Each structure stands twice: as structure tokens, then as C-alpha cells.
Chains A and B, each alone.
Chain A
Amino acid sequence: MSRLFSAFSVHKEITALFLAVAISTVFLSIAPQDQIRLSRTATVTILSPIQDIFSFIPSFFGLRYENRLLRKDLVQLQLMNANMEESLLENTRLRSLLQLKKQNKYSFISSEVIARDTGRGFNTIVINTGRRDQVKRYMAVITTEGVLGRVIEVGPVSSVVQLLTDRNCRISGLVQRSREQGTIAWQQNRGLGLRLPLRADIRLGDKIVTSGLGGTFPPGLTVGRVSQIALEDRGLFKRASIMPHVDLNRLEEVFVITADTLATIEKNVAIERFQTQAGN
């Protein structure tokens, strides 16, 4: 045993390499545990104040403040517009719901992007709001342009957001025109796509929005537009490639949709279903 220890101490580099490779391999093989999540959150929390300072470098204070006010107004208008578009489409089928839909109000937490994923893909960002601002895990995150992702880690003053470009981020979506539903996911080398049955009614240029199923994203939020349609799985399914509406290269201000909004949406969906059944 002592000879083994002396061998390790002589060849410190090899020992360190072996340990580092072993630990990395273990991390790659196991699912994230609570202790690892705690370490991630602690690291992000410690570094986020410094990153917040550095993220000012490419910005101008006055313009940023004015921008923030304008974007806040814009996202409110965008959400109202998305809501009204959905109401207009649904009105032809369910008239009694029109009044109910107009009363929906979204509430959200305005946040700034302070850091980005430094790896080879662009899968996550860090925002400067956390538990202190009532941000919770799995809350939806949007921009003025559309859906961006969801919160996966929450610290006291910062949070990690999983973007649409992460292959583990799956969103329930539908084709706004035909109401065909499917799952939106990112695939390597193929980008964002919506998987649909073979006979689904979908065309190039169709707008893809969130369906509201799953409870994370409110319905009607813009995801993107169909840029390509292809068959897959030996012709059993269709895959619609989606061009995301959000410009991921220009992320500064984002908005976290709060749980109050989700509770309101869930209540309204339940009332809709009750009224539809009562009407039938």
C-alpha cells in the first residue's frame, strides 16, 4: 500500500488526471442530484454580482433605462395582442368564452440577462432575478418577440434559464391556423422542430404558438414560423422546422411569467371546459 502511495505522490500529474477524468465521467453519467444542484446555484449566486457589473460594459445607462420602459410596455401589448388573436379564432367555435378571455391579465417579472452559456452550444442564460423577486423553478420566460425558455435553477438573486435551443427543453405547441398540436423540441443539426402526425394540416409560413398544455407556458405565445416540412420515421410522421421568433443573439431584457398568471390560466381553462360541457 505504501508503495502505491509513493507511486501516486511521484506521479502527481497522472494521479490528478485520473481523478479529474473519473469525476468528470461520473458527473456525465449520473442525473443531476440535489447536492450538485445546490453547488450550481451557489456558484451562480456568487458570480452573478460580478457578471452583472461586466454586463454593463456593452451598454449605455440612459438608453438602457429608456429601453427597459419601452420594452415593458411593448411586451404587455404583445401579450394582449396574442390573447386577442386567440380569442378571435376561438370565437367562431366557442362564443361564450369571448368575455372571459378578455379579462385575462398576465403579470411578469422584468429581468436582465447578465451571463450566457460559455460552452459550444447556446443553451442557457443567467438573469438577475431570483427567489427574492418571487421567481420559481419552471416558470416560463419570454421576450418582446416570443417564447425564450423556462427557469431551471433559482438562486436568491439570480436564476438560470433553459433556452429553446436546449434539446431537453420541450414545449407543447400548436399550429395557430389549423390548431394541430405537437411537441416542439430542439434537435442537433436540425434545429427547432414540431413533430406532427402524417396527415396534419400544416404549411410553410404557418405560425407556431404555445398550446398551454403542461402548465408552464400560457397559450398563444409565439414560438416561430414553419420554414421547412419533412417526413421522418419512414414516413410515419411529419417534422416541421421552426424558425424561432426570438433573436437569441440580441438578448438583453427578458420577462418571467409568474405563477399567479398560471393559476389564473388554469382556472380559466377549467371554467372553459365546464361551460363547453354544460353547453353540449
Chain B
Amino acid sequence: MILKHIGLLLLAFIIQSTVVENLSIQDIKPDFIIIILIYVSLSSGSLVGVILGFSVGLLQDFYGPPDNLGLNALCKTLVGFGVGIAKEGLYKDSLFILIITIGGSFLAHDGLYHIINSSFSIEHALSQFLSISLLSAVYTIFASVVLIVLFTYRRGQINARRLFPE
């Protein structure tokens, strides 16, 4: 199970760094890494979410500017932990709950990212958040719905529970 999750995250990273650019609309693009990280955390809990969130975040940082090393690692560690902690309490059968989880996690991740990236300037962070993150969250939610429907649609029904066999 862990190997499958590592493979999925690596695949998400490679797709995000190569193909996703062609899906972008005026710098707004979906974040498949967040989608898969949330799936991993909901499936396996907060310990796996922290470790894999830190790892994939660090991988992203290796490809980014040198002075931001550690930023994606920190943000994705916290997302992995937070979603993993909520794993037992969330009603995973509901597509609506999953969408709220993805959207909320994405916005929390981006809020923290922009605050640190702008050296704690609230004005700059808010400007980036409103201009990029809100629309990117919508696009990411749309992409996640497409993926959920793709993997759970059977005989005219969408059952999100199929994503989390226990």
C-alpha cells in the first residue's frame, strides 16, 4: 500500500512538472500533487501523510528557486498531517465532503505558502492568494471530481468509498 502511494505521488509530481502546463489557463492550473497527497493521507493516516507530504514537498523544492528550499516541504507536511488526523472523523462516502476537504486543504496550503514566500507581508500574500490560489483551488476541485468519477463510477453510480477499501 505504501509503495502504491509513493508511486502515485511520484507520478503526480512528474505529470505536474511536464503535462499540466498545457492544461493551464492564464497561470491557473490544477495541483495533482495536493489531490494525491490528500488521498494518501485519507487512506493511510497522518504518519504516512507527514512523511510523504514532506518528501514530495522537498522534491518540489529541489526543482524550485534555491532560497525557497523547505517551503513546499513545510506546507505539504502540515496538509498531510491535518488531513490524516481527520481521516477517522470524515465521512468519505460523500463526494461533497471530499471536495470540501480538497478545497479547504488547498487554500490552507496556499495561504501558508504565500505568507512565508512574501516574508510575512500580509498585503503581498493576500494579493497572491486572491489572484492565483482561489481560482487554482476551483480548478483543482474540478480535476479531483474528474478523477473521482473516473475511478469510482460503476453502473450509473459514483461511490467515493471505493477509493478507500478497508
Interface-forming stretch among A43-51, A93-101, A206-214, A224-232?
A43-51
Nearest 10 A/B pairs, CB to CB: A27-B70, A24-B74, A28-B70, A20-B54, A54-B18, A115-B17, A20-B77, A24-B70, A24-B73, A32-B66
Chain B, range 23-69, C-beta contacts under 8 Å to A:
24, 27, 33, 45-47, 50-51, 53-54, 57-69
Contact present for B64 and A27 (CB under 8 Å): no
A-B contact count (CB 8 A): 143
CB-nearest residue of chain A relative to B73?
Answer: A24
Interface-forming stretch among B88-96, B114-122, B142-150?
B114-122
Contacts A16-B50, A17-B50, A44-B62 hold; do A116 and B69 have CB atoms under 8 A apart?
no
A170-212 CB contact bits vs B (8 Å, 1 = yes)?
0000000000000000001100000000000000000000000
From A27, A39, A40, A116, give the contact of B73 (CB < 8 A). Answer: A27
Contact present for B77 and A123 (CB under 8 Å): no
Q: Assess whether B19 is interfacial by the CB under 8 Å rule.
A: yes
A118 to B76, CA, bound (A): 13
Interchain nearest-CB distance for B120 vs A (Å): 12
Q: Assess whether B159 is interfacial by the CB under 8 Å rule.
A: no
Interface residues of A (CB under 8 A from B): 12-13, 16-17, 20-21, 23-28, 31-32, 36-37, 39-40, 43-44, 47, 50-51, 54-55, 57-58, 114-124, 126, 152, 160, 162, 166-168, 188-189, 249
Interchain nearest-CB distance for A60 vs B (Å): 13
Bin the interface of chain B by size.
Answer: 35 or more
A43 to B56, CA, bound (A): 12
Interchain nearest-CB distance for A31 vs B (Å): 8
Contacts A50-B14, A120-B110, A124-B65 hold; do A57 and B81 have CB atoms under 8 A apart?
no
Interchain nearest-CB distance for B150 vs A (Å): 18
Interchain nearest-CB distance for B134 vs A (Å): 13
From B13, B14, B18, B128, give the contact of A188 (CB < 8 A). Answer: B128
From A28, A37, A117, give the contact of B64 (CB < 8 A). Answer: A117
A24 to B57, CA, bound (A): 10
A115 to B67, CA, bound (A): 19
Contacts A120-B117, A123-B64 hold; do A114 and B18 have CB atoms under 8 A apart?
yes
Contact present for A124 and B64 (CB under 8 Å): yes
Contacts A16-B51, A17-B50, A17-B77 hold; do A119 and B24 have CB atoms under 8 A apart?
no
Contacts A25-B74, A26-B70 hold; do A160 and B81 have CB atoms under 8 A apart?
no
Interchain nearest-CB distance for A249 vs B (Å): 7
Contact present for B69 and A118 (CB under 8 Å): no
**A31 proximity list for chain B (CB < 8 A):** 67
Interchain nearest-CB distance for A191 vs B (Å): 12
Q: Assess whether B157 is interfacial by the CB under 8 Å rule.
A: no
Chain B, range 107-162, C-beta contacts under 8 Å to A:
110, 113-114, 116-118, 124, 127-128, 132-133
